[in-house]
Amino acid sequence: MSELRTTEPSTPEPHLWLRHEARPTERRTPVVPEDARRLVEAGVHLTVEDSPQRVFPTQEYETVGARIAPAGSWTSAPRDAVILGLKELPDQPGELTHRHIFFGHAYKQQPGAGDLLRRFAAGGGALLDLEYLVDDDGRRLAAFGFWAGYLGAALAVLQHRGRLSAPLRPTEKGELDETLRPAPGDEEFTALVVGALGRSGRGAQAAFATAGVEPVCWDLAETRDLDRAALLAHDVLVNCVLATAPVPPFVREEDLDAPARRLRTVSDVTCDVGSPLNVLPVYDRTTEWTDPVRRLRKEPPLDLIAIDNLPSLLPRESSADFSADLTPLLLDLGVGTGVGAGGPWGRCLDRFREACRELGLREGEFDRA
């Protein structure tokens, strides 16, 4: 079985390095200051990079005992430090020597996935992908899914009602909910949540409830033998399906021109664009905070929202929930002494090595981690 190890003598205490996020719109953090306190009190050597965009001020981390480092300085961190983040790494350095914890989006043939894994292979580092941090039954142990679904449905409602303005900006739930509540003159519409039983699906249902809309809810039973005509008969679709194997697409290019299409607004929470597992292969790139809606058809209109960091629009609430789930797992990481076979982190490492082998990378190229 696999074992995390370093090529240098380990420090007497675990070392976590919380990096600044390279994406300008990413305001979340995987560890909030109060949970940073828990890590420090447990003996973790915690370094936190300064980040002007992080929703929690750097000073709050320093107050609880974290060491502060300049943004982007993780590239020169000690080899035994584990680099912790959320979204994509910058393009450089070309060789990744550390163990990294973040959402890598590298195991479903997404664009750029092979290049990222080759960077780890070249440097001898390893990816511990948060999407694959699961329990014995394969259930995610830390996820932003609820808030992704909530915001995906919220933006769909606002767009459908003509109240979505750009650019998007981070807010708090109370303020968002005020804009979601129905107003005089709002027309009724039908909504469908696909993947309704998962975290994202539950979040989408909660947002629709705030908006005064009772959505139709589909999950595995309803999509196993898909009634595509019934799907297209809804005004709004929120896709929360996280496919792990190829399935027939829910919406195809030819469906966009179907005469009977009633569908007007699609919010793709999953954003598997470019992957063979994408259940909505009708677009080729995500949308952005500056331009959150793309019109796929003019007549009758069909609008797409496909933002891949939705929870960052509610950065404080989503970070607090995620950090509460992740912190106990970080305390069990065993940084500096190695992670033994089995357990959530061991499974993460095994999945990384499996992905590298699928690319034909030799074991020795990535086994230093």
Which DSSP string corresponds to 82-140?
EEE-SSPPPS--SS--SEEEE----SS--TTHHHHHHHHHHHT-EEEEGGG-B-TTS-B
Contact (Cβ atoms closer than 8 angstroms) between residue 200 and residue 240: yes
Q: Is 15 a catalytic site residue?
A: no
Burial class (CB in 10 A: 0-12, 13-18, 19+), 242: buried
Which DSSP string corresponds to 8-28?
SPPPSS-EEEEPPPSSTT---
Q: Which amino acid is at 234?
A: H
Q: Which of 98, 105, 160, 234 is catalytic?
A: 105
Q: Is 87 a catalytic site residue?
A: yes
DSSP-assigned letter for residue 199 = H
> Degrees (nearest 5) of the Cα angle 66, 70, 75?
100
CA distances from 200 to 14, 144, 161, 197 (A): 33, 8, 22, 8
Q: Which of 87, 100, 108, 160 is catalytic?
A: 87
Which has the closest alpha carbon to 105: 94, 115, 96?
Answer: 115
Q: Which amino acid is at 155?
A: L
Mind telling me the catalytic residues? 87, 105
